[in-house]
Amino acid sequence: MFFELTRSLSFRADPEQERGGSRGIAFGTDKGSLDKLGMTNWCFYLFPDNLSIIILNRFIMLKIITEPNPILRQKAIPFDWDKLNVAKLKKWEREMIRLMYAQKGIGLAATQVSLPWRFCVIGRAATDHITASSAGGRRGGTDWFLINPEIIARSSETHTLLEGCLSCPKVERPVARAIWVKVRAQDITGKNLEFDAENLSARVIQHELDHLDGILIIDK
């Protein structure tokens, strides 16, 4: 099976996929060979610099991966609004929110479900302490889907609490986090957001952005 698969793959540089400065190589079908293997709906991305491969199925339901899966150590790549499929993004938003609540979580990052792009979900229980200077009309107490989020400022004061993680089952670690952060991101429509978060909201956002940088609570 592996020999047949590798014989059927063609390779090309894909400018739409980059990871940590590494240009991705997309695997494509060669004369319908993957169709014969029943893998028509699969998409493969290889990042040579760190020898990582992302394998996605357009129709498969997302699943939370756990440590020591090496995908959790990959740094997420920015979501490119001009080149990537926004319809798929909306499907991933719905599926990530569903999965987060099914696993009793309050946040979930794309890397935790084997998606290579920079976005995450913040559950409604963790958005009560968000104040928005420019948040597209969004309010606390609702689920937030943040695309290309970045922390642009944070407090020097920190607070240490025990944290758990859906990707590190049965593990809790005391983690010091800034009690306040200012975040810049986009929403599902591509609208720019900028907002302040404190207390639990700030902690969950920092936790999920750690995931997008390949950092886990066991590293703290």
Catalytic residues: 208
Judged by DSSP in three states, 139 sits in coil
Secondary structure of residue 95 in the 3-state scheme: helix
- Can you tell me the distance from the alpha carbon of 70 to that of 52, in angstroms, rounded to the nearest whole number? 8
Q: How far apart are CA 86 and CA 188, in angstroms?
A: 8
**Shortest CA distance to 120 belongs to which of 102, 96, 140?**
96
| In contact, 120 and 144? CB cutoff 8 Å | no
Whole-number Å distance between alpha carbons of 85 and 110 = 15
User: How many Å apart are CA 66 and CA 121, to the nearest integer?
Assistant: 17
